[in-house]
Chain A
Amino acid sequence: SQELEQSPQSLIVQEGKNLTINCTSSKTLYGLYWYKQKYGEGLIFLMMLQKGGEEKSHEKITAKLDEKKQQSSLHITASQPSHAGIYLCGAREGTASKLTFGTGTRLQVTL
């Protein structure tokens, strides 16, 4: 079965700093999904990447997909306290509908 490994597991950055979270798959990626979870709440969909080399941005968050490396990265520019939370990557295995998720990266942004 597919496994997704995220790094780092946790991250503390000062407000205004940039940061990158990585997600590496044990198998070929058929679409990669990034979600954010705040404590005690559900997952909020951020972005979906489908093709190798694809890059998407939403506000200060940019995600890229490297199909050959079976890896995706999420980059936050000029982090703010509102970016704090747990970031999860998810992927489908083949044609399956369910998403398998990584273990998450816990982000704290200090003032």
Chain B
Amino acid sequence: NAGVMQNPRHLVRRRGQEARLRCSPMKGHSHVYWYRQLPEEGLKFMVYLQKENIIDESGMPKERFSAEFPKEGPSILRIQQVVRGDSAAYFCASSPTGTGENSPLHFGNGTRLTVT
């Protein structure tokens, strides 16, 4: 019974490059959430997606960041032209249901992005 799978675990990018972070939700889960955890800071919500739809992107920076959750395959968080301030741990979580239901979120082990 695999949990939420994120890869890669560690990612190093030079300034200006692109970073792609992948997340496969738990089996049977169709709701995916991305969070960012900066050093010594809390966990901040970025975006919430269902299959092929972005439901809530209120926490996403307006530029350079995008997310998708295609019908087939993992959810992808994409960061274009990375800057040092993007260095953080990015966590993905999934749940079987969404709005109005009190199901907990199940988290992956995160991708630690380092921008040099």
Q: Which residues of A does B touch, CB under 8 Å?
A: 30-31, 33, 35, 40-45, 48, 50, 88, 90, 92, 95-104
Q: Which residues of B does A touch, CB under 8 Å?
A: 4, 6, 31, 33, 35, 41-43, 45, 48, 55-56, 59, 91, 93, 95, 98-102, 104-110, 112
Q: Which residue of B lies closest to A50 (CB)?
A: B102
Number of A-B contacts (CB under 8 A): 61
Q: How far is the CA of A90 from the CA of B107 in the complex (A)?
A: 13
Complex interface: chain A residues within 8 A of B102 (CB): 30-31, 48, 50, 92
Q: Which of B31, B43, B109 contacts A101 (CB 8 A)?
A: B43
Q: Which of B56, B109, B110 contacts A96 (CB 8 A)?
A: B56
> A97, B91: Cβ atoms under 8 Å?
no
Which 7 A-B pairs have CB atoms at the shortest separation, nearest pair first? Answer: A42-B107, A43-B107, A103-B42, A42-B109, A101-B43, A97-B98, A31-B102
> B110, A42: Cβ atoms under 8 Å?
yes
Known A42-B91, A103-B41; contact A98-B48, beta-carbon cutoff 8 A? yes
> B43, A48: Cβ atoms under 8 Å?
no
Complex interface: chain B residues within 8 A of A102 (CB): 42
Complex interface: chain B residues within 8 A of A31 (CB): 102
